[in-house]
Structure 1
C-alpha cells in the first residue's frame, strides 16, 4: 500500500490560496494609493505654508488689491484641494481596513483547508503504517507456521 498521498480538496486549497494572494495584492495597491494621497497632502501643506509666508511678506510693502485677491483665491484653491484630499484619504483608509478584514478571513480559510490537508495526510499515514504492520504480522505468522511445520516434520 505505497500509494502516494493526495489531498482530496487540493484544488479548493489552491483556489483559496490564489484568492488570498489576490487580496494581498489588492491590499498593497490600496496602501500605495493611501500613501500617495498622504504625500500629496504633505506637498499641499508645504504649498500652504509657502503661500502664508508670501502673504506675510506682501504686507511689508505696498498692498495691491489685485494681489490680495489672487492670494485669497490661491489659498481658497489650496483649502479646497486639501479638503478633497482629506476625503480621499479617509476613503482610502476605509478601503485598506476593509481589505485587511477580507485578508484576515482569507488567511483563516486557507489555514482551515491546510489543517484539513494535514489531518488527511496524518490519517493516510496511519492507515499506511497500519497496513504495513498487518503485512508484517501476516508474514511473521507465516514464518511461525512454517517453523512449526518444519519442527513437527523433523
Structure 2
C-alpha cells in the first residue's frame, strides 16, 4: 500500500508538471496563433498541440521516475503504448472541451480552461493512471520481457 501511495504521489507530481506545460502551451497558442477570433477551431488545435507536448514531458517523468522500476527495456514499444493511452486521455479532454465550446456555446478562455484543463484533465488522469499501471508499466509484463531477453541471450552464451 505504501508503494502504491508513493507511486501515486510521483504520478501526481509528474502530472502537475505536465499540467503546467499543457496549460501554458494551450493558453499561449489560444491567445496568439490559434486564437478563436482568427481561427474558429483554434482552441481545439491549441489543445491538441499542448497535449502532445505534455505527453512527451509526462512520458519522460513517468518512465524515469514514477514507474522507473517497472519500465521496460524496449523504450520504443513502451513509448508507443504510453502515447496510445495518453491519446485516449487527450480524447477525453478534447471531448469535454468540444461539448463545452461547440455544443453548449461556452466560448470564453475561462470556460475552455475549465472544460479542457480541469474536467477533462481529471477524467483523463484517472483513465491514464489505470491503463499505465494495468498495461504499459504492469510488473508482470516487465518480468516476462526480462525473461524473454534472458532466454534469447542464453543460447548465445552457451556457445
Q: TM-score range by the shorter chain?
A: 0.3 to 0.5
TM-score, normalised by the number of residues in structure 1: 0.32
Larger Rg: 1
Higher RCO (CA 8 Å, separation ≥ 6 residues): 1
- Higher normalized helix content (fraction of residues): 1
TM-score, normalised by the number of residues in structure 2: 0.31
